[in-house]
Amino acid sequence: MAVLSPTAQDGAQTQARTAARRVERPYVNAYMGGFLLGLVLFATFFLTGNGLGASGGMNRIIVFLQDALVPEHVNRVPYLLDMAGGDKNPLDNWVVFLTVGVLLGGFVSGWLNGRVKWELNKGPNISARTRLIFAFIGGTLMGYGARLARGCTSGQALSGGAVLSVGSWAFMLAIFAAAYMLAYFVRRLWN
C-alpha cells in the first residue's frame, strides 16, 4: 500500500478538483438563443399542442404539497379543487414535466459549460443580505403577478404572444413598462 506524504496528498486532491472542474465557456449569442427558443416553441406547439410555461408547473408542485399536508383545505377551495380535489394528482400534467425538465436541463447545461457554482450577483454598494431580500421580494411579486395574469413570461408572453393573443401582448408590454419604471429605484442593487 502506498502512503502519500502531506504535500503529495494535497497535490493529488488539487489535481482531482481541477479534473472535476470544467472550463467555463461563454454563453450562446443572444440572437441565436432567441432563434433557438423560437424553434423550441414551434416544436412544442407542433408535437404536444401546448406552449411553454413555468409558473403552472411550480403552482402544481405547491398544490401537491398542500394536498399532502392539508387535503381538507384543497377540497374546499374551488381553484385548488380543479387541480387536486378528490383522487386527482396535481403532478399529472404536462407542465410539471416541462418544469422538471427545464430545471434538470439547466443544471446539465450549466455543468457541461462549467457554470455550476455558488455565487451572488450584486452591485458593490449593497450587502448580500439586502440583495437577497430584494430578490425574494421581486420573486414573490413576479410569482403573484403570474398567478393573477394566469401565466408567466413563458406561458403568457412567449406562448400566448406566438399565437397573437391580445391579452398576452398586453401582459408582455405591461411587464416591460413596469420593469423600466421600477429600474430607476432598484439600480443601486447593480451599480
Got the DSSP string for the chain? -----HHHHHHHHHHHHHHHSPPPPPPPPHHHHHHHHHHHHHHHHHHHS----SHHHHHHHHHHHHHHH-HHHHHH-HHHHHHHSTT--TT-SHHHHHHHHHHHHHHHHHHHTT---------TTS-HHHHHHHHHHHHHHHHHHHHHTTS-IIIIIIIIHHTT-HHHHHHHHHHHHHHHHHHHHHGGGT-
Query: 137-161 pLDDT, tens per residue?
Result: 988 988 888 888 888 888 888 888 8
pLDDT over 70 at 25, yes or no: yes
Q: List C-alpha distances in Å: 173 to 54, 145, 159, 161, 180.
A: 19, 14, 15, 11, 11
Q: How far is CA 123 from CA 7, 172, 176, 183, in A?
A: 39, 27, 22, 14
pLDDT confidence of residue 83: 87
Residue 11: predicted pLDDT = 55
Cell numbers found for residue 95: 407542465
pLDDT greater at residue 61 or residue 22: 61
How much is the mean pLDDT over the chain? Answer: 84
pLDDT at 10: 57
- In the chain, how long is the greatest CA-to-CA distance? 73
* Residue 108 pLDDT exceeds 90: yes
